Chains A and B, each alone.
Chain A
Amino acid sequence: MSSPPTASPSPPEAAPGAAPPPRRPSAATRMLAFGRNTWRGLTSMRTALVLLFLLAVAALPGALLPQRSLNQSLVDEYFADYPWLAPILDDLGFFDVFAAPWFAAIYLLLMISLVGCVLPRTVEHLRGMRAAPVATPRNLSRLPHHASAVLDADADTVLERIRGRLGAGRRFGWRTAVREEPGGVRTVSAEKGYLREAGNLVFHLSLVGLLIGFAVGKLFGYEGQVIVLTGGGQFCNSSILGYDSFRAGLRVDGTQLHPFCVKVDDFEADYLPNGQPDSFRADIGYQTAADLAAGHTDRWTPYPLAVNHPLRIDGSRVYLLGHGYAPRFTVTWPDGQQRTGEIQWKPVDQVTLLSEGATKFERPGVTDPEQRRTNQLAVTGLFAPTSSGGALVTSVFPDLRDPEVAVDILRGDLGLDDGRGQSIFSVDQSKVESGELVRVARANLAPGEQVALDDGTTVRFDGVQQWVSLQISHDPGQSAVLVFAITVLLGLGLSLSIKRRRFWVRIHPGDGAGRSTVELGGLARTDQAGYGEEFDRLRADLLDTDLPGTGLPGPSNTDPPPDTHPGDT
């Protein structure tokens, strides 16, 4: 913005520390001055610039260092790799940048600065919209765009023509004001492009709205993951306990989840010949809070859940995150008792879906607690959806073409009664090391095959079920964020595409009747070049008339526009 040579209101860019008090002021006055100066400093453009930089710099470690919120295991790795540095970074919050107090401090200061800057501007803009365009500067020839001519028309005619050309009073025309000066001189002040400032203000205020929407999500939202077996496995969003992992917003205690249920019937994956997945789809059914309240617990509304196609119910969303296999084993003890176990194994190779896990059994019908504890069984090892064949089982394709398991069967104390939680994917290795858990068989089994243990117990690999992992998300701030994102964009579009410009005319009545001298001046109030062309058009329309010659040199345009360029528009 080239500084206007007029008395136009300058943008609120007051230098901090302006106007020092002349004499020794009282403490209260000094406090007040200090407060005022601090506030001025905080809301100045320069401060905003510094805060913007700080925010950019502060966000960078969030991309360069592993973040807890994204991947805890990478953080652990970092601790292992840099044992002396990691704890220091951790103390400073570098593994949780976007939850760190210093990060919040920067954006909160920025928001305060923004509000302090934009609110007064809004008031000023509203006032300016009602006020008449500023008076015509005394010397129009000092403006970046100017021209003058003597016309063969009297002042009234010229004035009418100018007002008509500027579209005064029309909706998208210039806003104009006509003023009188001594000696019958009249001036027209015109201004256009008010929407630029309006867009600018909308943009900035929307940023505040965006932040508030974001904060609402962080406070009242939650997100959890759960694994559900296909073939009718169900999940109801009734308590945190139903989840395998759960992240609660700061004001969420888990007692007020939004009730709904889903049931997973089937899962289908298509793969390309090279094993790259082509599509994932889970056929699920759901029941909304209203269904549940109405007692329709046997009716399920079907829904095809897919990647990029989440289920949305009552402000909650259900996503298909991943999938895997759950081999099913049946153990038959010598006394004829049977137990079937089917639990998810976890993929260790995302490409071939080779999976590992541990399916655990307790012998039924044993009353002696000691006997019961020491006769537990675990089937543990690898599962290949498409086995390579051979003694060393591995997987060559992610789809269920030729499944096989390679398992160890362990007997003894699994440690299930120790009161310590243990992974569902593995056995407690300390029990193996201490000899309380002993391997009693090792076998590669295809579906239907079984292996017999030394005591006559058999373990059969029955077949495979698929599982899907679902994410349930709830974010009450999300719609607000979308709305404000759209207004951010609209405001931005207006403020960057519209030019705020001013145009002045001074009409001197001529010496003879039917003559007048007309001076034009123009000023773009914004950084954008391109006003030159519009000014030239106005000049041509207003001054290059086909009225008979005046005897004076034609319209002159001594205009070296500093912000236009030949060929530029």
Chain B
Amino acid sequence: MPIDPVLALFSDRLFFGAVAVYTLAILLHAAEYVAARETVRAPALVGAGDAADGAGADGAGAAGAEPAGRSGSERFGRMAVSITVLGVLLHGASIVLRGLATERWPLGNMYEFTAAICLAVVVTWLVVLRRSPSLRLAGAFVLPPVWILMFLGGTVLYAQAAPVVPALQSYWLAIHVTTVTIASGLLVVAGVASLLYLLSGSGKAAALVAKLPSAAALDRLAYRVTAVAFPIFTFAVIAGAIWAEAAWGRFWGWDPKETVAFVSWIIYAAYLHARATAGWRTTRAAWINSLGLATVVFNLFFINMVVAGLHSYAGIG
């Protein structure tokens, strides 16, 4: 399979373009957040009316943000979202061009995988915003992890466009890795929501996130996104097992990556159970969800780069 160097080059440029555009979006979100201090907080100081904000009355946070209307904060926020959409377009085009340049599914090494997870996170975030626009202020916390991942992807993990080894030449690559990517993207958003929820209830540090939508809204966001991600993740693990049966001679062999996927799966199952157990529904559940995110990130980086296993095709550098 010949590589098209021109397409590969354009793919790389679009990737860096996307990073640049996301940088701008983050700055705009930061401006939105800072500006929100004057608008939203001020009435709160005077009226102390949204004491219910953190206590879980839904919509209180949203209602608090609305009167600001076309304030500076609002304008910055809207620009940030538009710019994010532009970033997604560049980002998506970069991935498509990689696929065209290599004539294969563009998820063959860690650079490509990380890039795709980042895209999944941002797309998930935009979908969430469409359904619950009042969460927009949280963008200042969702996009930076994406930026860091993409920075690592473009530097440490970067790999030249190239064909993949025979073990990866299977349509199961498209099925397994794409679904893992989507699930990971969703789980990152859910995990960030849970972390923000925990922050908002954490005494001193709570000031940092005081302007965010209500804690209850964050908690609900975490649950909903996890509830969508978990079946997708389950499917991805099963698809991986089916592929392993054809590629490695057994469907499950406790390879390090399989083991950590198992651990993540159990932790997310525990999260869903906690949501149905008295005394575990909110704060403890949020801790479990954050732990789940930690195992997903651990699986992506530590297991790929430090532990040797069958999954380590990853081609780093």
Contact = CB atoms under 8 A, between A and B. Distances in A.
A49 B277 contact: yes
B149 interface: no
B166 A63 contact: no
Contacts of B42: none
A565 B169 CA distance: 46
B301 to A, nearest CB: 13
Interface in B260-306: 260, 262-263, 266-267, 269-270, 272-278, 280-281, 303
A564 B58 contact: yes
Main secondary structure of the interface of B (DSSP, over half): helix
Contact of B275 (A53, A63, A67, A527): A527
B151 interface: no
Contacts of B217: 565
A272 B160 CA distance: 14
Contact of B247 (A53, A307, A529): A307
A52 interface: yes
Interface residues of B, number: 65
Contact of A307 (B166, B256, B278): B166
Contacts of B69: none
A309 interface: yes
B131 A279 contact: no
A492 B231 contact: yes
A565 B166 contact: no
B165 A276 contact: yes
A74 B165 CA distance: 24
Contacts, number: 153
Interface stretch (B32-40, B138-146, B238-246): B238-246
A310 B292 CA distance: 35
Interface stretch (A145-153, A439-447, A482-490): A482-490
A59 B246 CA distance: 25
A478 B280 CA distance: 37
A63 B131 contact: no
A424 interface: no
Nearest to A481: B251
Given A49-B274, A52-B269, A565-B217, A485 B238 contact: yes
Contacts of B250: 223, 473, 475
Contact of A63 (B252, B253, B259): B259
B277 A46 contact: yes
A492 B254 CA distance: 23
A158 to B, nearest CB: 32
Nearest to B243: A308
Contacts of B242: 482
B223 interface: yes
A519 B274 CA distance: 34
A63 B303 contact: yes
B199 interface: no
Ranked nearest first, the 4 interchain pairs of A and B with the lowest CB-CB distance are A63-B259, A52-B270, A307-B166, A63-B256
